[in-house]
Structure 1
Amino acid sequence: MRVLFSSLSAYGHFFQLLPLAVAARERGDEVLFATGEVRHSLLSQLGLTPVVAGRSTDEVVGEAVAAVRAKHPDFDELPQEQTLELISTKFSRLMPQAFVDALLPVFDANRPDLVVHGGYCPGPGLAAAVAGIPALCHGTGRARADNDEIMARSVVVLRDYAAELGVELPEAYPTFLGNTYLDICPPSMQNTHFLATADRVELRPVPFNPPAELPGWVLTRERDRPLVYLTMGTESDSVEMLRHAIGGLSRLDADVLVATGKLAVEVLGEVPDNVVVESWVPQADLLPYTDLVVHHGGNGTTFSAMSAGRPQLFLQNRPGPDQLLNAEMVCAAGAADRLLFEEVTAEAVATRARALLAEESRREAATAIATEIAGMPSPEATAALLKSFT
């Protein structure tokens, strides 16, 4: 069977689909993966056939901003909420269209038996609908409420574009296109309305990173005090946020490992003795050695920390909807705390992190989430079901 997976190239979306794609390839399926070229080297290493599709989020956001500026000369004076709405609306057309335009010729030349598209990447699913190919929607996190403001705005644009393609979207959760949904969210933490109404297949979220070695000191360190892992994601450029977080975490009787993502390590300057700064670490491999994860709330880090059973401290880095949703979800389960953007200071980070490390109830809640996740069907078991959807 030939299966085409497709997602945004952003780590929090792309990495969520890889465990199932690899499991399908290991079963003997021919697996193609359509995403931005930045991920193609890794796909080839994993034995998956890369296909060029979509565009980088930064590129599409840039085009959306330029288009909005051209229509609104007073753009810089508009309230932030309004500018975000205008940009989001334009983005909601540009990104799906990029995938449709790229994939329809691919389907003509190398037609797959099944398409699996990311939850908030409807373009590949629309292309599959146009071509008459069965499709599944692979979740990347908790399903947003149908009446969520951001969803409502994007859905209007998506419906118009789908109508141009001759595709009719369902009334409920139209972004998922009515396809069977591979749900990586533990049922106890999922949107209750979605649980009651959606055509779901549970799928265990599995932390994933490219093959790499952990820093040697992580493996050899004495475990007599906690290890705190700090990341603001691979795309963050907020030096100030990292400095506040480092300033707070360094006050703890703990070792602190910081991953700077796209920021150069040097921009942080000199750090306290109990802090080690790396540009990147293999996060999935690191998490079993950690005692607390402090981060921005991206899907990849949130669900990886949940799977590892680690308490989390969320620091709102920018007005990202997924980040806020993830923080609310894990906090409600008792396994996390959070600080909004305006609340983040070194003192606040130290206070919240110290409490998370000290409170047994937080660790118990995190362990309960991990236990629930471990009981969900594995990617290997789910890969065995893919044929039934063709």
Structure 2
Amino acid sequence: MRFLFTGPASVGHLFPMVSTAQALQAAGHQVLFAVSAPYDQMRRTGLPTVKIGDGSTLMDSFKRAQNGADLEFVSDGNSPEDTERLAAAGFAEDGRVTIDDLLSLASDWRPDVIVHAAFQAAAPLVSAALGIPAVVHNFGVMSGFAMVGRLAGLLADEYRARGVEGPATHTVLDVVPATMGGDGTGWRVRYVPHNGAGPVPRDLASRGSRPRIAITLGTVVTAFAGVNPVARVVSEAASVDAEFLLAVGDTDLSPLGTLPGNVRVLPWVPLAQLLDTADAIVHHGGAGTMLTAAALGVPQLILPQGADHFINVEAATGLGFALRATGDEVDAALLDRLLTDEALRKGAAATRSEIEALPSPADLVASFEAIG
């Protein structure tokens, strides 16, 4: 069988689908990813990729949706409704420029099933137009079905232009346990982290002599706020008996000044491997980061910045595997609690067990085969 995967050119939306695609490929099926610019996001996955779109990026799409106004990402906490409305406007524009290419590709390659990120606005139209079964592949806590409906409403003119009334009925795949969220009307799958490839420093393959706390801001926040969200974490690190692993890629660190001796700057390291020997993590609340840590049972301190972070942190604190704070609220006592709070560690272990109890991507191959 042939499975066409597609999603916005953002690792937060593409990478959660990689394990599913790999499972189908390992079972002998053909998989193909269709992605828009920048096209290098998928190169390190080893999966075949076709370019779609007009060469503009997701950032370009959000600027078009806001009529060229400066983009803002960091907020004091939008409501879930505001978050989804703002996201839908940008992702609808991003999907609009991929419709023709995706329609042409699907017509030529003739996949048996289209598997698409909930925020890929063109895929439901293409699925309906060609009568190809589709699976909405969620990436975290948010509802994929709700976003598919929003995006279809914003692209109503595109549907009408192609004689399609609306998105076809879809199967949905949740990557979180029921206690954490998702849609809950289709399948659930174990979250298997895929964070890209990269070298892992040899000494991070085993436990260190002191506790380790990883610090990361994902792939989006630093473009808007640099390292400012974790500046207080870094300054307080000197008062904590732990090694802090600062993993923020090639972001400018000069705003942090002279780093404490127990703060170690790392190059790009795949997050799952970084956390394998870490005792805790401080991060922004992105779904990929939160779920990678949750799948490994690592206690978390979340400093939500924008997008879906506030939705994610509500789920995380509700299940007891994360603490929540603003950057200014971080102090040595909070970082010590992150390492020593027994209830937090039990919450992290319990959530890991819930995730591990879900079917693996390989377990769902037969379900995918049945809908094609």
Normalising TM by the smaller chain, what interval? 0.7 to 0.9
TM-score, length basis structure 1: 0.83
Q: Runs of 5+ in structure 1 lacking a partner?
A: 70-79, 171-176
Structure 2 counterpart SS, 1:51: strand
Amino acid at match of 2:128: A
Instruction: Report SS of the residue matched to 1:189.
Output: coil
Check 1:278–1:114 CA distance in 2 against 1; reply closer, same or farther (3 A cut): same
Q: Relative to structure 1, is the Cα distance of residues 280 and 61 closer, same or farther in structure 2, using a 3 angstrom cutoff? A: same
Q: Check if 1:282 corresponds to 2:270.
A: yes
Structure 1 equivalent of residue 51 of structure 2? 52
Check 1:378–1:87 CA distance in 2 against 1; reply closer, same or farther (3 A cut): closer
Pair 1:377–1:285, CA change in 2 (3 A): same
Partner of 1:230: 215
Distance 2:83 2:324 in 1: 23
1:385 to 350, 358, 367: 367
- 1:157 aligns to 2:154 (yes or no): yes
- Equivalent residue runs for 1:308-323 within 5 Å: 308-317=296-305, 319-320=306-307, 322-323=308-309
The aligned counterpart of 2:74 is none
Counterparts in 2 of 1:383 and 1:266: CA distance versus 1, 3 Å: farther
Distance 1:312 1:138 in 2: 25
Relative distance call for 1:85 and 1:377 in structure 2 (3 A) is: closer
SS of residue in 1 equivalent to 2:25: helix
- Tell me if structure 2 keeps the 8 A contact 1:236–1:263: no
Q: Which residue of 2 aligns with 1:7?
A: 7
Of 273, 279, 300 in structure 2, the residue corresponding to residue 291 of structure 1 is 279
The amino acid of 1:9's aligned partner reads A
Q: Does 1:305 align with 2:290?
A: no
Q: Which residue of 2 aligns with 1:245?
A: 233
Counterpart code for 1:212: G
| 1:355 counterpart letter in structure 2 | R
Q: Aligned to 1:187, what secondary structure does the other structure show?
A: coil
Which residue among 328, 353, 359 is the counterpart of 2:341? 359
C-alpha RMSD over aligned residues: 3.1
Q: How does 1:1-390 map to 2 (within 5 A)?
A: 1-40=1-40, 42-43=42-43, 46-54=45-53, 55-67=56-68, 88=87, 90-144=89-143, 156-159=153-156, 161-169=158-166, 178-190=169-181, 194-195=183-184, 198=185, 200-219=186-205, 222-223=208-209, 225-237=210-222, 238=225, 239-265=227-253, 268-317=256-305, 319-320=306-307, 322-339=308-325, 343-345=326-328, 348-390=330-372
Q: CA deviation at 1:90?
A: 4.0
- Relative to structure 1, the CA distance from residue 179 to residue 217 in structure 2 (aligned partners, 3 Å threshold; closer, same or farther) is same
* 1:236–1:262 contact (8 Å) kept in structure 2: no
The answer to whether the 8 Å contact 2:138/2:144 transfers is: no
Task: Classify 1:357/1:221 alpha carbon distance in 2 versus 1 (closer, same or farther; 3 Å).
Answer: closer
Whose helix fraction is larger, Structure 1's or Structure 2's?
Answer: 1
User: Between Structure 1 and Structure 2, how many residues are aligned?
Assistant: 361
Mapped contact 2:23–2:362 kept (Cα < 8 A): yes
| Deviation, structure 1 residue 107 | 1.6
Give ranges in structure 2 of 5+ residues lacking alignment. 71-76
TM-score by length of 2: 0.86
- Indicate conservation of the 8 Å contact 1:92/1:158, yes or no: no
